[in-house]
Amino acid sequence: MPASVENPPVFAGNADLRIACDIFCEVIDNFGDIGVCWRLARQLTTEHGWQVRLFVDDLKAFHALCPAVDAGLARQEAEGVVIEHWHAPTHAGDTLQIADVVIEAFGCELPAIYVTAMARRERKPVWLNLEYLSAEDWVADFHLRPSPHPRHAINKTFFFPGLGAGTGGVLKERTLDAGREAFQRDAWWQERVGISAPSADTTVVSLFAYENPAIDSLLEQWRDSPSPVALLVPEGRISGAIARFFGLPGFAAGAKAESGSLKAYALGFVEQPLFDALLWASDINFVRGEDSFVRAQWAQKPFVWQIYPQADDAHLPKLDAALAHYANGLPEGARTSLERFWHAWNGAGTPDWPGFWRYRRDLEQRAADWALELAGIGDLAGNLAEFAKSQLK
């Protein structure tokens, strides 16, 4: 039986025992929060040997990303990670040991009883507030900044993912590049789409997106393209717009449609390890939110990012901050076209596909160069583990 939080064990004090880590995740919307937390949990387990427990308040959303997760179980294990259904405010503090490292993801509020137990622990845990990814300049100034608790003698440290030096970086598994290099495109098309891979003159587009009023114009441009376009659409929030364009009642997994130069294929929602293959199979990737945005950068393919929309266009400066990193080094024409296309896809203008894709070779080269630059910051899990261990000494 787990030890009481009143007398919690000190894992890090014994070199023979692994670092214990608790990650708390509240699923706010879509799959971004749990997507990042699940990747982080797996990486800390497999690459750093940590004992990780992941507390999640919505196991149904989790199940979509990891089918091995049973939404009806209060406690279970998947891929070496203990998963707890975070179903009540006192659940964690009442029943579990306090870990060496506690990660409060994206501003979710830890149970008060758990925080109290953290403060009572003889050797205080490393308490990290994992923030959302941002490319803005101020992130480096706030990364690793401590924040004292107002009532307890314990600090919380802000840990910021980012695209520039002085930040926590972004998640990347050690095996990811090898997987990309070993990827078999033709086999993937046969397995996932049921047809041979398109010919070299076909532009393959993956479309993972929120609802977007710019989609109709873009579909029309692909339909009228002088060269073929193959569109791969994971089933989700954009599926209804695709169905309406083709005059179909729906566009669920397995559906196919064709109009002019455009052929569209609906794919099932895939678990995380399979999503990278979709990006590798395409020539350009439309991605959304945080998790798929990061995966698109490691895919070394041109991509278009749909940032999570906010009121009063508050998301646009964040979009521009990412562009400042990613577009740096592109020839002027390609850079201007990329910026305009990203803005249009995020509600500021109309996308110009021919004007954008004419710079395909420049965009492909930049995608490869950028992945190398980003890797120079170090991956988020590794950076987080290194910092935590320095605080546990």
Q: Which residues have a catalytic role annotated?
A: 33, 290
d(CA 116, CA 34): 25
Question: 378 is written with which tokens?
Answer: 């170090």
Question: 68 is written with which tokens?
Answer: 């091995």
Question: 6 is written with which tokens?
Answer: 């009143």
d(CA 120, CA 14): 19
| Beta carbons within 10 angstroms of residue 223's beta carbon | 17
Question: Tokens 């989609």 appear where?
Answer: 215
| In contact, 125 and 101? CB cutoff 8 Å | yes
The residue count for the chain: 393
Please work out, in degrees rounded to the nearest 5, the angle formed at the alpha carbon of residue 382 by the alpha carbons of 378 and 388: 125
Burial of 7 (C-beta count, 10 Å sphere; 0-12/13-18/19+): exposed
- Going across the sheet that includes 203-207, the strands are 256-259, 262-267, 229-234, 203-207, 284-288, 303-306
**How many CA atoms does the CB half-sphere of 296 hold within 13 Å?**
25
